[in-house]
């Protein structure tokens, strides 16, 4: 059993902790919190051991009736690996603590690629993470781009990729972010996502542009791929249908927006209404001469969760090949191949 400690219990951390609890080859040492808020109470309610950053914090938490098992030093002595789910740009400071205890660590996409030995997406470069000490699971948007592009590259030689990312403004629970009534364009071209994709897929010709819109439930990507030769739309669809963690909406079934995709997650009975899969809109797949157009939805709260689980297995070389880990993770989380 791989003993996992999750440092952070926010949007991503709580989902990773829940996913670890579903694995038969992992155990959850606990989670870390900085503030004695409702999320800490939830950890207590579900019997998840809670750790804080100092002895003084223990008193603060317990004064509010929140049970604490110990400090993160205690957790680091007990665990085999840390999944760092702290706010972005905090990871580098946290890494110093993990190094002190000689612990493997996984970081999230909000950190710079230089924090880790490899940037990771399970379907693309699982083998590159085998035995590594530090791995960075790329962001929700980069994960989606990597999954899609990796499958498209199997069909024909790509000349160039251009992507427009329509980004949610905040996660649903965040009340201090915006915009509320605006569309905010990017002023950096390409957006950082293009550079980040290259950390996983290598030197491909990709440029991305991002805008932020007043919604909280999902991101939307519009992707244009130009090939060196003519491609068949049916071949594209078949490849994407066969891929893991990608689903294509059936035609004329009413799944025509991010809102209906989230409603589907609710109807599937998913915990926290999560969609781990990239959801491609069937009606939006078009091949014109040597160009492919498609659009897809990305659930920013959940898409990277299975990647973190697979990264843990790769780092401990539980499976040398990605298929076995991905199959195991997908089964435990109820991830679909097709609708």
DSSP for 269-295 reads T-GGG---SEEE-GGG-EEETTEEEEE
Q: What does the block give as tokens for 63?
A: 């004064």
CA within 13 Å, CB half, 219: 28
* pLDDT value for 174: 94
CB-based contact 146:296 (threshold 8 Å): no
* pLDDT value for 227: 97
* pLDDT value for 256: 95
Distance CA 100, CA 92 (A): 13
Secondary structure, 3-state, 164-189: EEEEECCCCCCCCCCCCCCCEECCCC
Q: pLDDT digits over 135-184, tens only? A: 999 999 999 999 999 999 999 999 999 999 999 999 999 999 999 999 99
- Give 78's pLDDT tier (boundaries 50, 70, 90): very high
- Give 92's pLDDT tier (boundaries 50, 70, 90): very high
Over residues 268-288, the mean pLDDT reads 96
Q: pTM higher than 0.95, yes or no?
A: yes
Over residues 310-322, the mean pLDDT reads 98
* pLDDT value for 294: 97
Is 41 considered catalytic here?
no
Q: What percent of the chain has pLDDT over 90?
A: 96
Over residues 311-315, the mean pLDDT reads 98
253: DSSP letter: S
Over residues 202-210, the mean pLDDT reads 96
Residue 128 CB coordination number (10 Å) = 15
Over residues 245-268, the mean pLDDT reads 96
- Give 255's pLDDT tier (boundaries 50, 70, 90): very high
Over residues 280-309, the mean pLDDT reads 97
Over residues 30-59, the mean pLDDT reads 97
Q: Which of 1, 155, 176, 16 is nearest to 82 (CA)?
A: 16
Q: What percent of the chain has pLDDT over 70?
A: 100
Distance CA 276, CA 298 (A): 8
Over residues 2-18, the mean pLDDT reads 98
- Give 231's pLDDT tier (boundaries 50, 70, 90): very high
Residue 157 CB coordination number (10 Å) = 9
Q: Which of 140, 200, 309, 315 is catalytic?
A: 140
Location of each CATH 3.30.360.10 domain in the chain: 141-298
CB-based contact 179:173 (threshold 8 Å): no
Distance CA 244, CA 182 (A): 35
End-to-end CA distance of the chain: 33
* pLDDT value for 49: 98
* pLDDT value for 106: 98
Q: Which of 276, 313, 314, 317 is nearest to 297 (CA)?
A: 276
299: DSSP letter: -
Over residues 87-103, the mean pLDDT reads 96
Distance CA 240, CA 62 (A): 50
Location of each CATH 3.40.50.720 domain in the chain: 2-138+304-333
Over residues 308-333, the mean pLDDT reads 98
CB-based contact 257:306 (threshold 8 Å): no
Task: Give 2-138+304-333's CATH code, choosing from 3.30.1490.190, 3.30.465.10, 3.30.1490.20, 3.40.50.720.
Answer: 3.40.50.720
Q: Please count the residues of the chain.
A: 339
* pLDDT value for 258: 98
Buried (b) or exposed (e) across 132-153, using 16+ Cβ within 10 A? bebbbbbbbbbbbbbbbbbbbb
Mean pLDDT, the chain, rounded, equals: 97
CATH code for the domain defined by 141-298: 3.30.360.10
Over residues 79-95, the mean pLDDT reads 96
Beta bridge pairs of residue 286: 293
Q: What does the block give as tokens for 93?
A: 């400071």
Distance CA 189, CA 207 (A): 8
């Amino acid at each position: 059993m791989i003993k996992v400690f999750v440092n952070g219990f926010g949007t991503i951390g709580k989902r990773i902790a829940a996913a670890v609890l579903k694995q038969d080859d992992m155990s959850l040492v606990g989670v870390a919190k900085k503030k004695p808020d409702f999320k800490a109470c939830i950890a207590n309610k579900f019997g998840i051991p809670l750790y804080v950053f100092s002895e003084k914090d223990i008193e603060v938490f317990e004064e509010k009736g929140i049970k604490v098992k110990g400090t993160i030093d205690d957790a680091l002595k007990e665990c085999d690996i840390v999944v760092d789910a702290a706010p972005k740009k905090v990871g580098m400071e946290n890494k110093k603590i993990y190094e002190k205890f000689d612990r493997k660590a996984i970081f999230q996409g909000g950190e710079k690629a230089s924090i880790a030995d490899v940037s990771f997406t399970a379907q693309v470069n699982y083998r590159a993470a085998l035995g590594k000490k530090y791995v960075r699971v790329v962001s929700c948007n980069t994960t989606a781009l990597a999954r899609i592009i990796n499958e498209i590259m199997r069909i024909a030689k790509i000349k160039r990729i251009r992507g427009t990312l329509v980004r949610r403004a905040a996660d649903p629970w965040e009340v201090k972010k915006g915009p509320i009534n605006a569309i905010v364009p990017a002023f950096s071209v390409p957006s950082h996502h293009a550079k980040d994709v290259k950390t996983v897929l290598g030197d491909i010709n990709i440029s991305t542009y991002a805008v932020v819109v007043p919604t909280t439930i999902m991101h939307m990507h519009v992707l244009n791929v130009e090939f060196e030769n003519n491609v068949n739309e049916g071949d594209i669809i078949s490849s994407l249908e066969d891929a893991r963690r990608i689903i294509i909406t059936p035609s004329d079934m009413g799944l025509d927006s991010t809102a209906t995709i989230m409603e589907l997650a609710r109807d599937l009975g998913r915990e926290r209404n999560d969609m781990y899969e990239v959801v491609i809109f069937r009606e939006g797949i078009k091949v014109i001469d040597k160009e492919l157009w498609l659009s897809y939805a990305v659930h920013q709260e959940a898409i990277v969760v299975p990647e973190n689980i697979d990264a843990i297995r790769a780092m401990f070389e539980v499976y040398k090949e990605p298929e076995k880990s991905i199959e195991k993770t997908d089964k435990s989380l109820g991830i679909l191949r097709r609708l």
